[in-house]
């Protein structure tokens, strides 16, 4: 189990007649059970890195490995399936579906792979209980607080037992107390379920919960002391 590895990844975009490198020779290794943070100014390349790690963008150069599988060599159909089974995303807003209750938010993700099994229902319920939502299974998003909605989003990211968890500003829409609660919950699940996790954040108060902190500036990634 090697987790997530980026080897000398460069991502270039065309802008008119010139080429811009959003990522410059980035290398990163996140082992199972490790929770790392990436900080840096807007436009520094953080979101591009997350998109490449999540198989949403292909690198221009370099390799991206998830548990020794080179996702840079996959075709689009394979990538789509891989994202569903191996990558869990937690976004700035919970993006819950208004007409689905809490349990069904998770089961919808399972259903995208095929028929939902009894084992998957049991796992989804266990995840929600783990995150303090055991009494909220039949509640709809408008009946939940902001922190509860984000906890549902965390459970949804873990429900397919993905190998890699990617969190993009997961506390952006929360007040301080709920933000701390949400990041502590992400850390707990990462450790408990032995997942490789990367969180992009502007909120430096959350860094105490991370094992390592990297800084991204002008497409260059460096480990903070």
Computed on alpha carbons and rounded to an integer, the radius of gyration of the chain in Å comes to: 17
Domains of the chain: 4-223 (3.40.50.300)
Residue whose C-alpha is closest to residue 186's, from 127, 136, 146: 127
pLDDT (tens, 9 = 90+) of the chain, 225 residues, equals: 579 999 999 999 888 888 888 999 999 999 999 999 999 988 899 999 999 999 998 999 999 999 888 987 788 888 888 888 899 999 887 889 999 999 999 999 888 888 889 999 999 999 999 888 999 999 999 999 988 999 999 999 999 888 999 999 988 878 888 888 889 989 999 999 999 999 999 888 899 999 999 999 999 999 996
Single pTM value for the model = 0.91
Residue whose C-alpha is closest to residue 189's, from 119, 132, 104, 146: 132
Distance CA 92, CA 8 (A): 28
Bridge partner residues of 28 (DSSP): 6
């Amino acid at each position: 189990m090697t987790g997530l590895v980026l080897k000398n990844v460069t991502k270039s975009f065309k802008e008119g007649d010139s080429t811009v490198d959003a990522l410059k020779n980035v290398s990163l290794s996140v082992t199972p059970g490790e929770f790392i943070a990436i900080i840096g100014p807007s436009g520094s390349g953080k979101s591009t890195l997350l998109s490449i790690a999540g198989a949403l963008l292909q690198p221009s150069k370099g390799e991206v490995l998830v548990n020794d599988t080179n996702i840079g060599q996959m075709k689009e159909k394979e990538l789509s399936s891989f994202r569903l089974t191996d990558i869990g995303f937690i976004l700035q807003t919970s993006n819950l579906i208004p007409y689905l209750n809490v349990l069904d938010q998770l089961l919808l993700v399972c259903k995208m792979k095929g028929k939902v099994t009894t084992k998957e229902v049991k796992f989804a319920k266990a995840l929600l209980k783990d995150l303090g939502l055991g009494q909220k299974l039949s509640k709809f998003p408008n009946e939940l607080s902001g922190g509860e909605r984000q906890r549902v989003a965390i459970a949804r990211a873990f429900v397919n037992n993905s190998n890699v968890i990617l969190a993009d500003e997961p506390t952006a829409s929360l007040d301080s107390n709920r933000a701390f609660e949400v990041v502590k919950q992400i850390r707990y699940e990462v450790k408990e379920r032995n997942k490789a996790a990367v969180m992009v954040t502007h909120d430096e108060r959350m860094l105490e919960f991370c094992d390592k902190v990297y800084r991204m500036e002008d497409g260059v990634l460096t480990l903070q002391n």
